[in-house]
Structure formats: C-alpha cells, structure tokens
C-alpha cells in the first residue's frame, strides 16, 4: 500500500552525475551506498527537510548502471512503513556507457511531522547485452521529524462551589503537552448549552498547565453538561487540534 503525498513532499534539489574514472578506482564488490547527510527539524513545515547521498561504482568493464530513489515514511511507532510517491522519486536513472561511478545528493523538503523517514536506494548493474547482472538495495539512517508546535489540552472541569443563588463556580485546567510554548489564547465555557463570554488566558510553557475559575449558571438537570473550548478560533497552530474541547456531565452539587 502506498501513501500519495506528492503535493506535500517536495524534492528541493537533486544533483546527480555519472563520472568516468579509471576502473581501478571502482568498487570491486559492486555495492551501493546510502547516507543521510542532513535532517532538519523546524516549526515551519516548509523548512523540515532531509538530504541523502547515494553512490556506487561499476565493477566490470562495459557495464552500465541504473539507480532509483524511494522515500519511506512511518508515522507511528510500530506502524507500517509506507512509500511516498512524487517529486521524481521512484523512477530509474540509467547511466551512459563508459562511466564507472555514480553519485547523487537529494534534498527533500516539506516533510509532515511527526514521522520517521528514510530513503531506499536501488541499484542495478547491467552488462553489455542489457542484462541485469547484479542488484542492491541500501537504506539511509532514519530522519526523525518531530512536531515542534505547542499542544493545548482541555484537561478537566471541576465544581468547586455550588450555592443557592443559582450560580456555580467551576475550576478549569488547561495544559500544554506540545514541544513549544503556547502564546496567550481564548477560552470558552458553557453550562446548560449557554456560552459565557470568552476568557483571556496567559500562555503556557512546555509541559506546564494553567487553571481558571469560572462562575456559571447552576446545572438545571441531571442530564445537563458543562463544556470548555480552548482556542475556539484556532489562532494557534498546534500539533493536535482534537483535544481542545472537553464536555462532561454536570458535576454533582451534593457535597458543595
């Protein structure tokens, strides 16, 4: 199964050449080599990149070579490794006659995160009659792309005071489980389906948390709910946007 991400993954630079050097300098084993020369993490998706290098030598007179680059991605620990198409990857490049060495640098940008990437380099050695006489597949070391954005999480809603005036006081806890500090953000709280004006919240550092006390109308029935929404306008780019809303049944007022 293949992952089609050609519109996201960009081959930013590809320098490839076959060169003619004395056959005595060629690799007698006919092996290919792959190296990861750079792995750049960034909060900006366009700056996330990896640079790989492939090289090989012809080991017998009259041979030519064909080489192919494939980009592999794993998005979760223990998950399947998938081949990413596009950007000139997955195609064979054939050498001309009379050359004995191949080298190519490939920089791949706009890598989605979090994920782990590596390149697979396939080599073919072809004799004078056009027959493939040897093949090799080698892999670069992994390039781990970490999502460096913040991740605001609506953690909990707790009833701290319930009076007879029809107003209950709730304590809301919000944390940042991401890899970067979160700037100031808005928070919306609702009770019985009625929203209160947005509250301004101070930013939260990496691994930190912040609490807010809110007075809201008392729950009217056992089926009522209270809800909190963090960053309702999505002004903050987060690594996970699916944990910003928390809705729970109205806390019991029996002990307050």
| Domain termination residue (choose one: 145, 160, 184) | 145
Are residues 217 and 122 both part of a single domain? no
Instruction: Indicate the residue among 94, 119, 145 that finishes a domain.
Output: 145
3-state secondary structure of 7: coil
The upper half-sphere exposure of residue 83, i.e. CA atoms within 13 Å in the direction of its Cβ, equals 12
Rounded Cα–Cα distance for residues 142 and 137 (Å): 15
Of the residues 111, 145, 179, which one is the last residue of a structural domain? 145
Do 141 and 157 share a domain, yes or no?
no
As a whole number of angstroms, the distance between CA 22 and CA 224 comes to 82
pTM of the full structure? 0.69
CATH number at residue 54: 2.60.40.10
C-beta of residue 171 within 8 angstroms of C-beta of residue 139? no
**Running DSSP on this structure, what letter comes out for residue 251?**
P
Q: State whether 164 and 138 are in the same domain.
A: no
Q: Spell out the per-residue pLDDT of the chain, length 256, in tens.
A: 333 333 355 554 443 444 444 433 344 455 799 999 999 999 888 899 999 999 998 888 889 999 999 999 998 878 899 999 877 789 998 888 888 888 888 999 999 989 999 999 999 999 999 999 999 999 999 999 999 999 999 999 998 877 667 888 999 999 999 999 999 999 999 988 888 999 999 999 999 999 999 988 888 777 789 999 999 999 999 989 999 999 998 876 544 4
| Residue 32 domain-assigned (yes or no) | yes
| 136 and 198 together in one domain | no
Alpha-carbon distance 194 to 167, whole Å? 13
Q: Is 256 among the domain residues?
A: no
Listed in sequence order, the residues at least 6 apart from 158 whose beta carbon sits closer than 8 Å to its beta carbon are 170, 171, 172, 173, 251
Task: Give the residue numbers spanning the domain of 45.
Answer: 2-145
Q: How far apart are CA 34 and CA 31, in angstroms?
A: 10
């Amino acid at each position: 199964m293949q992952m089609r991400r050609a519109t996201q993954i960009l081959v930013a630079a590809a320098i490839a050449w076959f060169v003619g050097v004395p056959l005595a300098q060629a690799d007698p084993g006919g092996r290919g080599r792959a190296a990861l020369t750079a792995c750049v993490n960034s909060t900006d998706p366009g700056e996330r990149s990896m640079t790989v290098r492939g090289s090989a030598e012809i080991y017998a007179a009259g041979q030519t070579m064909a080489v192919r680059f494939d980009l592999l991605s794993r998005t979760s620990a223990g998950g399947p490794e998938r081949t990413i198409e596009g950007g000139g990857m997955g195609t064979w490049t054939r050498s001309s006659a009379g050359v004995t060495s191949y080298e190519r640098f490939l920089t791949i940008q706009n890598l989605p995160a979090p994920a782990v990437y590596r390149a697979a380099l396939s080599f073919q050695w072809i004799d004078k009659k056009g027959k493939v006489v040897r093949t090799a597949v080698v892999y670069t070391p992994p390039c781990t792309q970490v999502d460096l954005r913040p991740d605001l999480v609506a953690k909990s809603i707790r009833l701290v005071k319930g009076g007879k005036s029809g107003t209950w006081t709730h304590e809301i806890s919000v944390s940042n489980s991401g890899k970067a500090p979160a700037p100031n953000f808005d928070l919306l709280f609702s009770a019985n389906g009625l929203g209160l004006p947005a509250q301004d919240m101070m930013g939260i550092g990496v691994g930190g948390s912040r609490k807010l006390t809110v007075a809201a109308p008392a729950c009217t029935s056992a089926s009522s709910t209270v809800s909190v929404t963090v960053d309702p306008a999505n002004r903050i780019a987060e690594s996970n946007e699916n944990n910003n809303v928390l809705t729970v049944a109205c806390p019991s007022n029996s002990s307050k």
